Amino acid sequence: MIRLLRQTPHSPVPGPSPSRRPGEETRWQRWRAQAGPWAGLIALCLVLFLPGMMTLPPFDRDEARFAQASRQMIESGDYIRISFQHEPRNKKPIGIYWAQAASAHLFGGKDAPIGAYRLPSMLAAMAAVLLLFAGLRRQTDPATAFLAASLLAATLLTVVEAHLAKTDASLLACTVGALMALLRAYRPLDGETALPLRYVALFWGALGAAILVKGPVVPMVVGATILALGFSDKAWAWLKRLRPVLGLPLTVLIVAPWTLAILSQPGSGSATAGGNFFVDAIRGDLLPKLVGSQEGHGALPGFYLALLAVTFFPGTLLLIPAARAAWRERFDPLVRFALAWVLPSWLLFELIPTKLPHYVLPLYPALALLVARFAATAAAESIGHWSARLSQALWALVALILAAVTVALGLYFDQELNPIALIGAAIFVIGAGLTLRWIWRGSAAHALVTAVTVVALGYGVLLSAVLPASSGFFLSRGLAAMAESLHPGARLAAAGYAEPSLVFLTETTTRLTDAETAAQLLADRQVDLALIGDRDITKFRAAADAAGLTVDALAIERGFNYSKGRWVTVTFFRRAA
């Protein structure tokens, strides 16, 4: 990476030793110039995304719901309707469920581990990184394109979403694909009169895939970008290069098969399953997010900006001076495109009442481009400005927080120190010092490369050795293991701890219910074990007495329910002998 940064777009790559024949030198140079960056990005993605992929238990609640719904497709053989246990899951279209089910088939079908359901997210995050490099390498110099792609890969939010069996990494790949094709239409290469057919297919295909994954999000970002460019430039003719007459049918061809299939399925009453799906998706999921804070995930405008120092880490090292430089250079077409990608959509996300940190992930590739462009061209004095110092101070603070969190995880959740956590903390602290040393020497590009390297190593330790080792943080894993040891293959009912990850780690038939129903199910011999949270034990015992049921308490498991933000003690009960 360092060597690539030292090269200008037209500088020759250092060749092999003079003892080689000229033809061999040419082949070697060509391979290094063409395959080297791609191999480097793939290796970086594997280092960032693979640790913890198979060993981290499912996270609540969205990941567990997505993975469980995909597993139920395999169990039922129904690949049209989406359900979590017996409830229709009419929130997101079918795309991610198909991808997860296909991946799970490769790793054992319904018995596949959670990592199999995460594989589509990992591959999608990797695709986003490679698409960004592919789209930028001829729009700017290769070093800047490589640095932007590396930064997108190492961004904390990208790494997190690559490890979760959800829609957001796939949505990122669709966004980058569509926007890179749009960039080529907006800023064609010298002598290019028409947009190459592969870019037309990429644009409309990415839109179709995005709609099939998460509905209107990517079309909204693309539309906002087009409107911002069109009104700021007062020019719209370049849109003809996208060839909508040819491309729009491709989008329809991608979206239509499942839409027609779900519309043909029988539903409740006189409605079709598809009719129920689209009504529930719009009325029950989309509109509540637009008009209020859905499921308590509300925040004031400025929420995403406040989180940016953490979610865009390590890119925040140069984000503030990069933003200042971008505004000064806003008439440059590439910078103008990046600003049009970020600003209008960011404003829309801030205005929408429902807010979750990952909503703005589709805008991070543009931020990575602006930061990489600044790093590749910044003069020493520009990174010594007070705004740059503020950015560096925030970055150093986040690095120290990551080091502290790495150590504190075991101390807080398991009341013991994980020795490997000390290695992770040392990586963050020492790496922060090395990164800032490059800043003080006036080399922004080398500082950013060092920062990416540091987080790749630090995240690796955190995700592969520290988090998976925490029993208190992953309560569902402990409960599933305890249930299997007490009664192999037991039918379960849970009250006071109704987390989807418990269903995924046990069986689809696991009942998430209330204390009274759990007691009745145990009395009727419909379940073998009841898992009762500490706040529901009194209700459970009263309901058991009312049903004439005598119960034995078998074991107790304690852990932190991070979905609720509190410690939970769960007791296992069975019918008395």
Distance (Å, whole) CA 388 – CA 382: 7
Would you call 164 helix, strand, or coil by DSSP? coil
Distance (Å, whole) CA 64 – CA 68: 6
Sequence letter at residue 40:
G
CA distances from 212 to 127, 206, 216, 252, 254 (A): 17, 10, 9, 10, 8
- Within 50-61, residue ranges assigned H as helices are none
- pLDDT value of position 8: 41
Number of C-beta neighbours around residue 565 at 10 A: 7
- pLDDT value of position 31: 67
Sequence letter at residue 537:
I
Distance (Å, whole) CA 393 – CA 245: 51
- Within 265-329, residue ranges assigned H as helices are 273-279, 287-291, 303-311, 319-328
pLDDT in tens, 376-397: 887 656 777 777 888 999 999 9
- pLDDT value of position 293: 61
- pLDDT value of position 21: 53
Nearest-10 crossing angle of helices 364-377, 168-186: 60
- pLDDT value of position 274: 58
Nearest to 32 by CA among 7, 56, 66, 68: 7
Distance (Å, whole) CA 196 – CA 188: 10
Number of C-beta neighbours around residue 546 at 10 A: 12
Q: How do the pLDDT tens digits run along the chain, 577 residues long?
A: 545 544 444 333 333 444 455 555 566 666 666 788 999 999 999 999 999 999 999 987 899 999 999 999 999 999 999 999 988 888 889 999 999 999 999 998 889 999 999 999 999 999 999 999 999 999 999 999 999 999 999 999 999 999 999 999 999 999 999 999 999 999 999 888 899 999 999 999 999 999 999 989 999 999 999 999 999 999 999 999 999 999 999 999 999 999 998 888 776 544 555 567 777 777 767 776 666 665 656 688 899 999 999 999 999 999 999 999 999 999 999 999 999 999 999 999 999 988 889 999 999 999 999 999 999 887 656 777 777 888 999 999 999 999 999 999 999 998 999 999 999 999 999 999 999 999 888 888 999 999 999 999 999 999 999 999 998 999 999 999 999 999 999 999 999 998 999 999 999 999 999 999 999 999 999 999 999 999 999 999 999 999 999 999 999 999 998 888 899 999 999 999 7
Total-model pTM: 0.91
- pLDDT value of position 275: 62
Angle formed at CA 49 by CA 43 and CA 53, multiple of 5 degrees: 130
The two tokens of residue 405 are: 């969190």
pLDDT in tens, 481-508: 999 999 999 999 999 998 999 999 999 9
Cβ–Cβ under 8 Å, residues 477 and 45 = no
